């Protein structure tokens, strides 16, 4: 019996994404998908603990799981380079204009190893991944290893060379001055042109929008501009206190009242932009849980909260593995099954959410494995 269907491909090189649209589907539509999924053709499959199995499907892009347990990362975020000349103040990487890049043979070997360990998809990023000199060979290497591959980019650089990726997302945190304040340079038009060019060359292209107190008020306008330019996926990301983004985090993060507005706003965007796939990242799960969004529907669609080290692994330029791109620790079982106090301990979303964003908890509380201090349920618990 199919337990969960995780739709789409990872549109981002830093955090996991979850499709929001499915939360509004009728039970009839969900049932029809489950029936259809029985005949979807697999690209690859892997056994899971307890006799289960996960299948990677290309048409439509999806991970189909039978059984309850997950036996390791299905998605890897692979850093190709630390080189990027842009000044984005919230970048989680702290790149340098002449930062180092991973030699192609090393990239190829990392892809082969990840594939042999059961990973189905790699999302590559930087720095600015478009600055990587052999991008076409990176795509070839992923496909040769049986992996699908996504790319995250600012849109500055050789967009025409980004061919063959299964998914490309361009960062677009706002328009005009909002973009400039968020990213430290006036680049919204350049990003929109990149989306247009990528869509014109046939890529599945989306926009990554980092939510901050500055970018949130104009989110609808940003989504509209991205969609008009050809984006079919909108991926919303929570700001994280990492890299260059650590110091300005407190002044830039979403205000608590904005976080509570996210779910109603998302619901209206899904309705308004029919045919566009909306995703929120793993770190936003508490903000949906606070509205009582159906946890069974989330489970059915393989929703991942803080599943770093379990569903996800990050690999930096030096080959070091961490649970996700925002933390500087080794993957461990403590992370995968944290023992959390109330209100997480008895929360209906614990298995999905896993205590909210550990990167935020570490920054604000000095401990990784404690309840996310920005979860509205944690705030209400006191
Ligand atoms: S710490 Fe957890 S919730 Fe935060 S970005 Fe990493 S995997 Fe996602
Ligand atoms: S109480 Fe804990 S488990 Fe529940 S939504 Fe908040 S952070 Fe997640």
- Which residues sit opposite 210 in a β-bridge? 237
pLDDT of 96 reads 85
Alpha carbon of 238 to ligand 1 centroid (Å)? 10
Measured from the alpha carbon of residue 376, the closest ligand is 2
Asked if residue 82 belongs to a domain, the reply is: yes
219-229 and 188-200 helices, crossing angle to 10°:
40
Q: Measured on CA atoms in the order 302, 306, 311, 314, is the torsion positive or negative? A: positive
CATH classification at residue 46: 3.20.20.70
Residue 72 covered by a domain: yes
382 by Cβ neighbours in 10 Å (0-12 / 13-18 / 19+) ranks as exposed
Q: Is 149 in the pocket of ligand 1 (CB under 6 A)?
A: no
Residue 363 in any domain: the answer is no
372 belongs to a structural domain: no
CB 287 within 8 A of CB 253: no
CA distance 286 to 378: 9
Model confidence over 132-174: pLDDT tens digits?
A: 989 999 999 999 999 999 999 999 988 888 899 999 999 999 9
Rounded to whole angstroms, the Cα distance separating 74 from 17 reads 13
- Does residue 10 register a pLDDT over 80? no
Res 12 pLDDT > 90: no
For residue 254, what pLDDT band results from cuts at 50, 70 and 90?
A: very high
pLDDT computed for residue 127 by the predictor: 87
The continuous run of DSSP H or E covering 195 comes out as helix 188-200
Q: Percentage of residues in the chain with pLDDT exceeding 70?
A: 99
Domain of residue 227 covers 2-338
How far is 359 from 40, CA to CA, in rounded Å?
37
Predicted pLDDT of residue 92: 85
Rounded to whole angstroms, what are the CA distances from 245 to 95, 169, 225? Answer: 11, 20, 26
Q: What is the per-residue pLDDT for 228?
A: 98
3-state secondary structure of 124: strand
221: tokens are 């306008």
Q: How far is the CA of 351 from the centre of ligand 2 (A)?
A: 9
- Give the residue-averaged pLDDT of 8-32: 89
Q: What is the mean pLDDT of the chain?
A: 95
**For residue 351, what pLDDT is reported?**
96
Count of domains for the chain: 1
Locate 370 and state its tokens: 């404690």
Q: Tell me if 374 CB under 6 Å of ligand 2.
A: no
The answer to whether 13 touches 124, Cβ cutoff 8 Å, is yes
Give the percent of the chain with pLDDT over 90. 86
Query: What is d(CA 356, CA 340) in angstroms, rounded to the nearest whole number?
Result: 11
- pLDDT class for 198, splitting at 50, 70, 90? very high
Residue 313's pLDDT band (cuts 50, 70, 90): very high
Asked, for residue 66, whether it belongs to a domain, the answer is yes
In a domain, 364, yes or no: no
- Nearest alpha carbon, ligand 2 atom 1: 344
The single residue listed with the structure tokens 């904005």 is 258
Element (H, E) at 35: helix 27-37
Of the ligands numbered here, which is closest to the C-alpha atom of 361? Answer: 1
- Within a domain: 359: no
More confident residue, 118 or 337: 118
User: Does ligand 2 lie within 6 Å of residue 378's CB atom?
Assistant: yes
Highest-confidence range of 120-129, 289-298, 326-335, by mean pLDDT? 289-298
Q: Which structure tokens are listed for 164?
A: 């063959």
Residue 134 maps to a domain: yes
Quick one: pLDDT band at residue 382, thresholds 50, 70, 90? Answer: confident
In the β-sheet with 52-57, what is the strand arrangement from edge to edge? 2-7, 62-66, 52-57, 42-48
Q: How many whole angstroms from 73 Cα to the centroid of ligand 1?
A: 14
> 67: helix, coil or strand?
coil
Q: How confident is the model at residue 91 (pLDDT cuts 50, 70, 90)?
A: confident
CB-ligand 2 contact for 286 (6 Å cutoff):
yes
């Amino acid at each position: 019996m199919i337990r969960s269907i995780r739709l789409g491909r990872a549109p981002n090189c830093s955090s996991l994404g979850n499709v929001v649209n499915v939360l509004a589907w009728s039970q009839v539509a969900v049932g029809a998908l489950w029936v259809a999924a029985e005949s979807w053709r697999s690209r690859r499959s892997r056994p899971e603990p307890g006799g289960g199995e996960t299948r990677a499907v290309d048409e439509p892009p999806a991970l189909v799981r039978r059984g309850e347990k997950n036996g390791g990362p299905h998605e890897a975020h692979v850093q190709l380079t630390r080189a990027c000349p842009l000044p984005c103040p919230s970048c989680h990487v702290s790149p340098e204009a002449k930062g180092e890049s991973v030699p192609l043979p090393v990239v190829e070997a990392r892809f082969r190893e990840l594939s042999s360990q059961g990973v189905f998809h790699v999302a590559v990023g930087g720095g600015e991944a478009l600055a990587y000199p052999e991008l076409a060979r990176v795509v070839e290497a992923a496909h040769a290893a049986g992996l699908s591959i996504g790319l995250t980019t600012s849109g500055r650089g050789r967009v025409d060379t980004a061919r063959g990726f299964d998914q490309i997302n361009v960062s677009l945190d706002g328009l005009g001055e909002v973009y400039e304040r968020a990213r430290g340079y006036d680049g919204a038009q350049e990003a929109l042109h990149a989306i247009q060019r990528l869509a014109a060359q046939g890529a599945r292209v989306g926009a990554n929008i980092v939510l901050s107190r500055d970018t949130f008020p104009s989110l609808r306008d940003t989504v509209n501009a991205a969609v008009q330019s050809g984006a079919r996926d909108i991926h919303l990301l929570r700001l994280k206190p990492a890299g260059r983004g650590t110091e300005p985090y407190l002044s830039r993060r979403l205000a608590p009242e904005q976080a509570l507005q996210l779910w109603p706003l998302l619901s209206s965007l899904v309705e308004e932009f029919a045919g566009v796939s909306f995703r929120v990242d793993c770190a936003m799960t508490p903000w949906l849980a606070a509205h009582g969004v159906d946890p069974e529907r989330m489970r059915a669609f393989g929703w991942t909260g803080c599943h770093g080290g379990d569903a996800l692994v990050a690999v930096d330029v030096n080959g070091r593995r961490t649970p996700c791109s925002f933390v500087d620790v080794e993957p461990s079982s403590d992370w995968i099954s944290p023992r959390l106090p109330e209100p997480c301990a008895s929360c209906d979303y614990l298995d999905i959410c896993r205590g909210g964003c550990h990167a935020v908890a570490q920054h604000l509380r000095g401990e990784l494995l404690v309840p996310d201090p920005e979860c509205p349920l944690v705030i209400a618990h006191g």
